[in-house]
Each structure stands twice: as C-alpha cells, then as structure tokens.
Amino acid sequence: MPAMFEVEIRLADNQIKIVTVEVEKQSKAKPYIGGFRSNKTGQSYHHAFSQTDQTASYHPERNERIVQTYQYKTKSTIMMREFGTQMEKGDLYVDTRKDKIIFPRPYFSSEMWKRQREETTLYI
C-alpha cells in the first residue's frame, strides 16, 4: 500500500473534490486478541477491539479495612452426643424410664398469631 493516495469525493451539487489521504504504517505487529482465522486462505479477521486504538484504563487495587482485619472463625458440626432412635428387640433392652411422650399441639395459623398479638398489644 502506498504512503499517500488520492480519493475522489462526489459532493451534493455533483462537484468532485479530490482529497489526499496519508497512510501511517504500524511499526510493530498487531497482537492477535481474538477473531477468526480462515484455514483456506490463512487470512486473519480481528475483533473490533483489536482493530481500534485502546487507552489503558487504570484500576487501582482497593484494599478495605474490613477485608484486611477480618477474623475467620470455624465451627465444628460434630454433635456432642449421638442422636437417633433405637427400637427394642429380643436381644436388646432399651431403658424407657426417663422417656417423655410429646403430643402435637393444635394447629396455630398466622391469622391466629396476628389476632393474639393484637389482643396482647391492646391489653398492655
């Protein structure tokens, strides 16, 4: 490609204007940031990002006090005692003297809870 060439531009009133265009050659090879490379011809087609001039954006590293001084704590998930039920069978005796039988209470809806809360508030 030549360093300079002329381009004819047709104006609105059918006049022709000749403009001289100077071509700046790139001194270093353009980095391949992605795109498409044809296997048949070997031609590389770059993304628009790699075809335009990019300005370096400065993103300072932000270190906040909360992150720097955070103390990590871990909790064990192992229970103090084993939990479960054991059924009594012929060769196993299960002591039932300290067992409690718990019966379910009547159903308590959100409307009942709201009504009880209002009554308690009015009583106070």
What would the pLDDT profile of 15-72 be if each residue is shown by its tens digit?
999 999 998 887 887 666 677 777 888 887 776 665 566 676 776 777 666 655 666 7
Phi, psi of 45, rounded to the nearest 5 degrees: -115, 115
What pLDDT does 116 receive? 93
| Whole-angstrom distance, CA of residue 72 vs CA of residue 100 | 40
Neighbour count for residue 75 (Cβ, 10 Å): 5
117 — pLDDT class (breaks 50, 70, 90): very high
